[in-house]
Chain A
Amino acid sequence: MKLLYFAHLRDKIGIAEEQLDLPRGVGDVAALLDHLTGRGPKFAGALGNRKTLRVAVNQTYVGWDHPVRQGDEVAIFPPVTGG
């Protein structure tokens, strides 16, 4: 799957995007976030507080229980501030 990070999450993590082989047992957004925060302090710092995260799967906003699959584009970003 393709993972995208935006705004201050990208700054904290240090990359804008990456390819990830969906780990065994990761079936939804919540499990994916658990997996990512377990990678180390940079990821835990950026993605640890879910209240400040928004997630889009294939460019549509989703909730924590939305399924994720190998071919998906998953974007993780802070609340938006346009307009």
Chain B
Amino acid sequence: MIRVQREDFDVGAEIEALTRGQTGIGGVASFVGLMRDIAGDKKIGAMTLEHYPGMTERELERIEAEARRRWPLIASLVIHRYGRMLPGDRIVLVVTASAHRAAAFEACEFLMDYLKTKAPFWKQEETPEGARWVAAEASDDKAAERWTKE
């Protein structure tokens, strides 16, 4: 399941709702991305996440389907927020559940790596010198590439 929303999410409630009654699940892995107040040496007061409505959902669904093709997941969830956020705010949640932990851990990491390089979101940070668009990181491409070597 994927969701793109402006509102915050409750991590515990989401995991509970995703896994309730699914007694074949032996392990749940989750990742929560938070907004930092520092980027390089710049203090960041707030951040706005822009996205491409329609394509964002399609890409997240495609990435989730790929994870489920590669690992035996019993349940999975990706929530990504958009709009203006403040330091400490939750940005993204990935939850993966499987019979055993290895699949859950690996699929969770795969989903985050692919989401960062494929899902059409863009961050604009508010610094003391004004707003600036965040540049893509080569390290994110590298992180996603390692999944193509297997």
Interface residues of A (CB under 8 A from B): 4, 6-8, 11, 56, 59-61, 75, 77-83
Task: List residues 71-96 of chain B with CB under 8 A from any CB of chain A.
Answer: 80, 91-92
Interface SS of B by simple majority: mixed
Question: How many Å lie between the Cα of A7 and that of B82 in the bound state?
Answer: 13
Chain B: number of interface residues, binned into ranges = 20 to 34
Min CB distance, B105 to chain A, in Å? 17
A-side contacts of B80, CB under 8 Å: 82-83
Task: List residues 44-72 of chain B with CB under 8 A from any CB of chain A.
Answer: 49-52, 54-55, 58
Q: B133 is contacted by which of A7, A61, A83 (Cβ under 8 Å)?
A: A7
Of the listed stretches B6-14, B18-26, B109-117, chain A binds B109-117
Is the pair A82, B55 in contact by a Cβ cutoff of 8 Å? no
Is the pair B112, A83 in contact by a Cβ cutoff of 8 Å? yes
Min CB distance, B72 to chain A, in Å? 24
List, sorted by A's number, 18 A–B pairs whose CB atoms are closer than 8 Å.
Answer: A7-B50, A7-B122, A56-B52, A59-B52, A59-B54, A60-B55, A75-B120, A78-B122, A79-B135, A80-B116, A80-B121, A80-B122, A81-B121, A81-B123, A82-B51, A83-B91, A83-B116, A83-B119
Q: How many A-B residue pairs have CB under 8 A?
A: 73
Question: How many Å lie between the Cα of A79 and that of B136 in the bound state?
Answer: 6
Within 8 Å of chain A (Cβ to Cβ): is B102?
no
Q: A82 is contacted by which of B122, B133, B135 (Cβ under 8 Å)?
A: B122
Is the pair B136, A81 in contact by a Cβ cutoff of 8 Å? yes
A-side contacts of B115, CB under 8 Å: 82-83
A-side contacts of B91, CB under 8 Å: 82-83
Is the pair A82, B92 in contact by a Cβ cutoff of 8 Å? yes
B-side contacts of A78, CB under 8 Å: 122, 133, 136
Question: How many Å lie between the Cα of A8 and that of B133 in the bound state?
Answer: 7
Min CB distance, B91 to chain A, in Å? 7
A-side contacts of B116, CB under 8 Å: 80-83
Q: B134 is contacted by which of A4, A6, A59, A81 (Cβ under 8 Å)?
A: A81
Question: How many Å lie between the Cα of A59 and that of B51 in the bound state?
Answer: 12
Q: A83 is contacted by which of B55, B92, B124 (Cβ under 8 Å)?
A: B92
A-side contacts of B33, CB under 8 Å: 83
